[in-house]
Each structure stands twice: as C-alpha cells, then as structure tokens.
C-alpha cells in the first residue's frame, strides 16, 4: 500500500499569512495527487487534483505543486473561511489512500 | 449540478448487518464510477470501496468478505451492504462520485454529507 504522510499535523496562522502543507508518498505516484478541505461536521471538498489543477470554483489563493513523491498545498493569503483540515489523497493505485490531515487553526 | 446523499446509518450491534444507500442526481451510475469513504469521528479519511461504471468493484482489504458495493441503474443509487460489523467500523460513511481529469483517475467529487454508523452493544 502507498502510505501518505502529511506535515505538519496542525499549524496556527493568522489571517493574511501564507501557509504551506506538505504531503509525501511512500513511492512515486507521478501527479496522481488530490487535495481536499474539510470543515467541522461537513463533508470533504475537492480543492486540487492532478497535483496542481485548481478545481472549478476554488479561489486562486489555493495552489498545488510537486510530482513523484513530494507535494505541497499552498494558501497565499489565509482568509477566515480557510481554517479547516486539509487532506491529500493518492489516486495512483489501490488501495486509494489519504494523508492523516493537517488542521489549520487561527493563531 | 451533481449531488449525492447517503442514508441508512444507525446504531447496530456487533456482528450485525446494515445497508447504506447513496441517492444521486445529475449523474448516471451506469456511466460514473462511485465510491464509499469513511471517517472515524475525530480521525482521518479511509477509502472503503469503489464500483466502476462497468460494474466491477474494488474494496479495501479490511472489508473484503464483509462489505459489498452495488449499484441500481433503475433508480440511480449505490449501496454498501455491510455484514459482520465490528466496533471499529463505527464511522461516518461518505458516498462520493469518482471523476477523472488531466490524466488522473479516482478523484472524489462531489461528496455526500455522510451517514453515521455506530456499532455497539
């Protein structure tokens, strides 16, 4: 199975800060990496697919990068609605696996 | 607009069975892959099972032999039949449409609001 490791597991940031979340795969997955945002009590929402493609309707302050085993989700300037938990997911092969999540909290 | 909504979650005793259902609109289950993902309260996301548009299925090892995913083209729904339930199966179960784009497969979008399954005596 491909293990997905996210770091950090949590971070505190202020409105307007730039943040970056890392996701590492235990083996190469090309660009088969997707990012989701989840708010408390809600379902996850797709943000980025194919490592760097912004899902329709997602603000441009979100961006993704990387390939192979190392990936990054960046938020250029945090807005109040961005405080949530973020998950990466590999769609390279089965079983499909997720990272453990990164909780972004208000400082 | 594509929407999915789960139903069927409830309290069930260990060893019991339960059937979850996923109602869809804006898509056709005979031409869309569909999947179930679960989340233990307070924990991360865990893929459970997937049904391809052609009807073939794939599931996580920890549910093989216990859970079965199926679809009903007549009413555009996807089910998850669960047997031999264990306390560790307690989770919110999400149904998700599975998309492909930019050469990437198995993108979960959109997700339903989830249904809670509690396995306890």
Smallest CA–CA distance from A3 into chain B, residue: B46
Residues of B (35-54) whose Cβ lies below 8 Å from A:
35, 44-47, 50
- Which residue is associated with the tokens 């800060």? A17
Q: Do the Cβ atoms of B45 and A89 come within 8 Å?
A: yes
SS3 A70: strand
pLDDT in tens, B29-71: 999 999 999 999 999 999 999 999 999 999 999 999 999 999 9
pLDDT for residue B119 is more than 90: yes
Per-residue pLDDT of chain A (107 residues; tens, 9 = 90+): 999 999 999 999 999 999 999 999 999 999 999 999 999 999 999 999 999 999 999 999 999 999 999 999 999 999 999 999 999 999 999 999 999 999 999 89
Nearest to B44 among A49, A95, A98 (CB): A98
**Rg of chain A over all Cα atoms, to the nearest angstrom:** 13
Per-residue H/E/C for B31-82:
CCEEEEEEECCCCCEEEEEEECCCCCEEECHHHCCCEEEEEECCCCEEEEEE
User: What is the C-alpha separation between A99 and A36, in angstroms, rounded?
Assistant: 10
């Amino acid at each position: 199975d491909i293990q997905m490791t996210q770091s950090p597991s949590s971070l505190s940031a202020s409105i307007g800060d730039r943040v970056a979340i890392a996701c590492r795969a235990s083996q190469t997955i090309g660009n088969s990496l997707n990012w989701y945002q989840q708010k408390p009590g809600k379902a996850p929402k797709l943000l980025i697919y194919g490592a760097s493609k912004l899902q329709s309707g997602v603000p441009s302050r979100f961006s993704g990068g990387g390939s192979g085993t190392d990936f990054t989700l960046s938020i250029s300037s945090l807005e109040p609605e961005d405080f949530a938990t973020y998950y990466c997911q590999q769609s390279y092969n089965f079983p499909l696996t997720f990272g453990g999540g990164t909780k972004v909290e208000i400082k | 607009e594509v929407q999915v909504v789960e139903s069927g979650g409830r309290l069930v005793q260990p060893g019991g069975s339960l059937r979850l259902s996923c109602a869809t609109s804006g898509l056709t289950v005979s031409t869309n892959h569909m999947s179930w993902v679960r989340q233990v309260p307070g924990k991360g996301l865990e893929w459970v099972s997937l049904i391809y548009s052609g009807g073939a299925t794939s599931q996580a090892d920890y549910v093989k032999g216990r859970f079965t995913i199926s679809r009903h083209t007549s009413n555009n729904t996807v089910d998850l039949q669960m047997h031999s339930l264990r306390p560790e199966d307690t989770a919110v179960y999400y149904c998700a449409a599975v998309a492909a784009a930019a050469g990437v497969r198995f993108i979960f979008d959109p997700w339903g609001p989830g249904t809670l399954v509690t396995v306890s005596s």
